[in-house]
Amino acid sequence: MERLILHADMDAFFASVIQVLKPQYRGQPVIVGGPGERGVVSAASYEARKFGVHSAMPLWKARQLCPRGHFLPVDGPACQDFSRRALAIYQRYTPRLLPISIDEVCLDITGSQKLFGPPLQIAREIQKAIYDELGLTVSIGLGPNRLVAKMASEWQKPNGLTRITADQLPEIFAPLPVSKLWGLGPVTAQRLQRLGISTIGQLQRISLLLLEREFGLMGRHLYAASRGQDDSPVPLYDGKREYRQMSEERTLARDTRDVELLSLTLLGLCDHLGWRLRREGYQGRQVTLKIRLADFQTMTRSVTLSAPTDVDYTIFQAADRLLRSQHFGAKRVRLIGVAVSGLVQDGTPVQLSLFSEGPGRQRRLSRARDDITSRFGPDVISRASLMAG
Amino acid sequence: MLKLACPQHALLEGVQIVSRGVSGRSTQPVQNNVYLEGRGRELRLVATDLEYLSLEALLEANVLEEGATTVPARILSEVASALPNEEVALEADETHGMNIRCGRSRYEIRGLSAADFTMLPPLEQAVRFEMPQGQLETILARTVFATSRDETRPILTGALFRIAEERLEVVATDTYRLALQTAPLEGVGDVTRSAIVSRRALTELARILDGDSPDPVQVAIGDSQVEFRLGKVTLGSRLIEGQFVNYAKVIPASYERRIIANIKELSAALHRALIVAREDANRVVLKTEGGTLKITASSQDVGHAEESIPVTLEGDDAEIAFNARYLLDMLDAVNTTEVVMELSGPLNSGAIKPVGDDTYLYVLMPMQIL
């Protein structure tokens, strides 16, 4: 039987949550992001998008485009709460459900139609429930698999509803730029561009053999994705958001060889990563540093800690040691990232160490900062070394 | 060039002992070989990874021409073990090949020049002492298991040998537990010396020590190397560089309660509870109710285990969670009838000792729910 997958993506989630909670911002351009001017936009309300502001844009640029916008920090705890409540709504329609991120979820509703009616009706019911109960709008895509459903969800926004069936696939996919394909990053898009491939239709005409030779494992994905093929399952939801790893990365404003600048960037990334780990209730043992050089050569280095951690500074110390043991020669670094894996959830028994008093103190410090951030916003407290000089 | 004869069983024994010294990962091919040297009335065999292990064996041989060569350890070991137990004739030529003849078998093994073979330098200024092999065997059995496997902190991957006040202290810790064994040392005089010996060397040493042997083991601890001599076999190793952790500060100075248990009963109960506990990071909860110690383990996926054994409790009831494996490591290593656990709070380390043997101390950190 053909599967039926529903992909739901909340519209301007971080900004919308604020507009729901604080009525004074409704109908106003709200730009959520940070911290600081070097931060990026996490979400822009549709009123702000009219000015050309979009997510992932540097904040300083957003200020130029929309000087009268309301610039606010992400309200982490509130967003978590809305995300959890949305999950509870989705769960009414299927047990097969996979949270992709805080504001995106994928549902397998193949078996739900007998109970809840045709797919479009299920989708409309979900949109209505999310709006009535949370005050938020959600864009929904329907498709024969996760890849197509995800792409369909991006078709119309906000509050969109798009269904792409298997027989419509070739026609709809062919004229799209390759960059629209899910799981395809800007680097691969550029490489395809250099090979003269800019639309999905052109990609469809390349043989699997050639793609594999050119892109390795990624080639196989490109071949299947360009045809809208994806057989990844939607597992049964066990009530937990399962992470195998969490990561943060940043493309630098300009390529650099300055280790101190890289280290400082890393400190900021580790701060945010630690905050996310604590928010989601995870600790990890393995710290991985990712470096992409100006020529797009990417390297990763890992170290295993003696105990799982969610402490910013412990993660930073490990990542920084990896950074300083690298030799880039004359090459400049374009992107730096850090990941924590080997995650265990809070509540997992942990063997205590005879020798560490440090992490306990650092952990309390991190938690105290989370508390301040959640009440007053991320601009109130920061490491001295991260404050603009 | 080298030319000698010796019994097959002697050659085999020597080769099998020393070839464990080869790391097999050396970038210099000659270091993957066994060095053979005939001199006087002896055949000397040496293999070393030049780092944490050097093994040397001397065996009686009828040396016809003095000389040396090197041949691949694995091949030599295989050939030696396959030969009949008769006289073996070894002969090396200028091309660094070695002829092996025994009974009706004849092999020519390609080797490399003995001149290129590197050995650990001789021991400089060393503190020397000796002790019965059985005693060192016990010391190692009680400590080496607690060394760390985390290669990012090399100093913890070895055991500290500390000589002070005519005593030897051997300490190992992986930061979760610490094992400390002391032994009196006579005749070393008023010297103090600390050395961190790698787990690789100590594991190998434990393998060749013979508790029944009347010959003592002679230990020499230098500034950068250590040597253990057992009759005709010598094990050498470079020391791990660096300062060992300040272990004295993690030894509990006091306790609030003591639990005395029979080791066999405790060990058997822990082994059974592990069936469930291993699904929960080996976590067992120890809880006393007067003279009864309850050991429980639970796992969401598997179920629940509860064991109880009679104990002697001094002080208030205790409740603490430990890694059952870490407890069993210690219980398996001691040979007394009873063990005493000195505990304070549920997040404080416990001191565990064999009753009636105050030379050994095991300090174990509990487990905590995150």
Q: Could you report the predicted ipTM of this complex, rounded to two decimals?
A: 0.84
Residue B174 confidence class, pLDDT cut points 50, 70, 90: very high
> Annotated active-site positions of A, please?
104
Residue range B256-272: mean pLDDT, rounded:
97
CB contacts, 8 Å: B178 with chain A: 354
Interchain pair B369, A352: CB under 8 A? no
Give the residue, B259 or A379, on which the prediction is more confident. Answer: B259
CB contacts, 8 Å: A359 with chain B: none
Architecture of domain B127-248: Roll (3.10)
Which candidate from A304, A348, A352 shows the least CB-CB separation from B347?
A352
Q: Does B178 touch chain A (CB under 8 A)?
A: yes
Contacts of residue A194, Cβ cutoff 8 Å, sequence gap at least 6: none
Q: Which residue has the tokens 């690789």?
A: B200
Name all contacts of B20-24 with Cβ < 8 Å and 24+ positions apart: B20/B47, B20/B53, B20/B55, B20/B204, B20/B207, B21/B46, B21/B47, B21/B48, B21/B49, B21/B53, B21/B54, B21/B55, B21/B204, B22/B47, B22/B48, B22/B49, B22/B73, B22/B74, B23/B49, B23/B51, B23/B53
Work out the minimum CA distance from B51 to partner chain A, whole angstroms.
Answer: 23
CB A331 within 8 A of CB A293: yes
Which chain B residues in 29-88 lie under 8 Å from chain A, judged by CB atoms? none
Interchain pair B370, A352: CB under 8 A? no
Q: What token pair was written down for A204? A: 């469809």
Interchain pair A354, B365: CB under 8 A? yes
Interchain pair B175, A349: CB under 8 A? no
- What pLDDT shows up at residue A38? 53
Give the residue, A37 or B302, on which the prediction is more confident. Answer: B302
Start-end ranges of CATH 3.10.150.10 in chain B? Answer: 2-116, 127-248, 252-364
Rounded mean pLDDT for each run of 10 residues along chain A, 389 residues in total: 91 94 93 69 91 86 91 82 90 89 91 90 95 95 94 91 89 87 76 88 89 80 88 77 78 87 93 84 88 83 82 91 82 91 76 69 68 61 65
CA dist list (Å): B123 to B203, B224, B226: 21, 8, 8
Mean pLDDT estimate for chain B: 93
- What pLDDT shows up at residue A364? 67
Phi, psi (deg, nearest 5) at residue B161 = -105, 115
CA dist list (Å): A59 to A70, A198, B369: 12, 30, 40
Query: Between A and B, how many CB-CB pairs are < 8 A?
Result: 57
Q: Does B248 touch chain A (CB under 8 A)?
A: no
Q: What token pair was written down for A251? A: 């493309």
Half-sphere exposure of B231 (CA within 13 A, CB side): 12
Interchain pair A347, B177: CB under 8 A? no
Give the residue, B89 or A330, on which the prediction is more confident. Answer: B89
In order of their start, the domains of chain A are 13-76 (3.40.1170.60), 171-226 (1.10.150.20), 245-345+359-374 (3.30.1490.100)
Interchain pair B370, A350: CB under 8 A? yes
**Residue among B75, B122, B64 nearest B98 (CA):** B75
Interchain pair B283, A349: CB under 8 A? yes
CA distance linking residue A339 with residue A345, whole number of Å: 16
Residue range B247-251: mean pLDDT, rounded:
94
User: Burial, B106: exposed, middle or buried (Cβ in 10 Å; 0-12, 13-18, 19+)?
Assistant: exposed
CA distance linking residue B93 with residue B67, whole number of Å: 10
What b/e readout covers A222-257, taking b as 16+ CB neighbours within 10 angstroms?
bbbbbebebeeebeebeeebebeebebebebeeebe
Which class is B252-364 in CATH?
alpha beta
CB contacts, 8 Å: B366 with chain A: 352
**For residue A237, what is the DSSP state?**
P
Work out the minimum CA distance from A235 to partner chain B, whole angstroms.
Answer: 18
Q: Which fold has domain B2-116?
A: DNA Polymerase III; Chain A, domain 2 (3.10.150)
CA distance linking residue A249 with residue A254, whole number of Å: 15
Q: What is the pTM of this model?
A: 0.61
Contacts of residue A221, Cβ cutoff 8 Å, sequence gap at least 6: A183
CA distance linking residue B91 with residue B99, whole number of Å: 5
CA distance linking residue A327 with residue A309, whole number of Å: 27
- What pLDDT shows up at residue B23? 81
Instruction: Give the residue from A302, A354, A363 with the most B CB atoms within 10 Å of its CB, the best one to mutate.
Output: A354
Q: What token pair was written down for A219? A: 């080639």
CA distance linking residue B127 with residue A41, whole number of Å: 67
Report the chain B residue with the minimal C-alpha distance to residue A344.
B370
Q: Does B283 touch chain A (CB under 8 A)?
A: yes
Which candidate from A283, A348, A351 shows the least CB-CB separation from B323?
A351
**Helices vs strands, H then E, count in chain B:** 6, 27
Q: Does A356 touch chain B (CB under 8 A)?
A: yes
Interchain pair A352, B176: CB under 8 A? yes
Interchain pair B363, A354: CB under 8 A? yes
**Residue among A72, A64, A79 nearest A34 (CA):** A72
Work out the minimum CA distance from B287 to partner chain A, whole angstroms.
Answer: 17
Work out the minimum CA distance from A135 to partner chain B, whole angstroms.
Answer: 35
CB contacts, 8 Å: A353 with chain B: 175-176, 365
> B50 in helix, strand or coil?
coil
